[in-house]
């Protein structure tokens, strides 16, 4: 007998509202991310994209709405997030610059048996073409390679939900192409990906769906090409020249 497909999304954000003092950062934001799906969250600066990430990772407390992972309320601490299979990269990378590349990738694996820990870390270093730099202090590497180290560290935990915060920022064309290949491979392995990104071509290349925020509200959600030509999106974020 064929097992029916799972209907519970990997991530469900429902009616999310976040306010900072008198400023409403998110107002009724709702979207899903399915198994192995890549969803891009885009919008102008200040639209609320990073606030969504912070709400998913329990760094801000919503005044209303819910965040569910695999049908359960999202964990409220770092240990719970790790156990739920959630990993995140940061805009600022957050690497320990005086530690080696390998040591950085081992950080989230402290609870894993030593032999497995090394194997998991080395696997990700190989996949991201970093194995030859394993013993180098992370802070001595060029920026694109440091970004790959941060990605390897997130992937080392074999996450089921990967949050990427501006992964293409500061990268050249070749590095962006390699990043796109990595995102597609990770998604093909069943990991769901939610990314915040300003690089429109990268978004259109890797995303299955795009959610557009403006002033803390969802103004469009759909396939990349449909969103690209949405007049509200052109006005709010992309601009006519950017989508030409």
pTM: 0.88
Tell me if 70 sits within 8 A of 10, measured CB to CB.
Answer: yes
Give the pLDDT score at 188: 94
Give the pLDDT score at 184: 95
CA distances from 162 to 25, 108, 149, 180 (A): 23, 14, 15, 14
Neighbours of 27 (CB within 10 A): 18
Q: Which two tokens stand for residue 232?
A: 């509200």
Q: In order of start, what are the domains of the chain with their CATH numbers?
A: 9-85+159-244 (3.40.50.300), 92-155 (no CATH)
| Rounded-to-integer distance, Cα 182 and Cα 144, Å | 14
| Rounded-to-integer distance, Cα 75 and Cα 73, Å | 6
Q: What is the DSSP string of the chain?
A: -PPPPP-S-SEEEEEEEEEETTEEEEEEEEEEE-TT-EEEEE-STTSSHHHHHHHHTTSS--SEEEEEETTEEPPSSHHHHHHTTEEE--TT----TTSBHHHHHHGGGTTS-HHHHHHHHHHHHHHTT-GGGTTSBGGGS-HHHHHHHHHHHHHTT--SEEEEESTTTT--HHHHHHHHHHHHHHHHTT-EEEEE-S-HHHHHHH-SEEEEEETTEEEEEE-HHHHHT-HHHIIIII-TTTT-
Q: Which of 141, 50, 146 is nearest to 93 (CA)?
A: 146
Give the pLDDT score at 43: 87
Per-residue pLDDT of the chain (244 residues; tens, 9 = 90+): 444 455 789 999 999 999 988 889 999 999 999 999 999 999 888 888 999 999 998 888 899 999 999 999 988 888 888 888 999 888 777 889 899 999 999 998 888 887 788 999 999 999 999 999 999 999 999 999 999 999 999 999 999 999 999 999 889 999 999 999 999 999 999 999 999 988 888 999 999 999 999 889 999 999 998 888 888 887 776 543 444 3
For every residue of 2-65, which 3-state class applies, written as one string?
A: CCCCCCCCCEEEEEEEEEECCEEEEEEEEEEECCCCEEEEECCCCCCHHHHHHHHCCCCCCCEE
């Amino acid at each position: 007998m064929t097992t029916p497909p799972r209907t519970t999304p990997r991530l469900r954000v429902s009616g999310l509202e976040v306010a900072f003092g008198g400023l409403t950062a998110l107002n009724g934001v709702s979207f899903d991310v399915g198994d192995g799906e890549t969803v891009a969250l885009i919008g102008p600066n200040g639209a609320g994209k990073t606030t969504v990430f912070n709400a998913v990772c329990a760094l801000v407390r919503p005044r209303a709405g819910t965040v569910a992972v695999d049908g359960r309320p999202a964990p409220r601490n770092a240990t719970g997030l790790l156990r739920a299979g959630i990993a995140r990269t940061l805009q600022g990378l957050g690497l320990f610059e005086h530690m080696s590349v390998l040591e950085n990738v081992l950080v989230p694996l402290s609870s894993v048996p030593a032999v497995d820990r090394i194997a998991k870390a080395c696997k990700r270093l190989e996949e991201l073409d970093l194995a030859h730099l394993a013993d180098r202090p992370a802070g001595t590497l060029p920026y694109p390679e440091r970004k790959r180290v941060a990605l390897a560290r997130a992937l080392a935990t074999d996450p089921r939900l990967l949050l990427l915060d501006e992964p293409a920022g500061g990268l050249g064309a070749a590095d962006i192409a390699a990043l796109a290949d990595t995102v597609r491979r990770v998604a093909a392995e069943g990991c769901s990906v939610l990314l915040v990104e300003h690089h429109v071509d990268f978004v259109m290349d890797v995303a299955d769906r795009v959610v557009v925020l403006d002033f803390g509200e969802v103004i469009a959600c759909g396939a990349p090409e449909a969103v690209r030509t949405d007049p509200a999106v052109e006005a709010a974020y992309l601009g006519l020249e950017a989508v030409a």
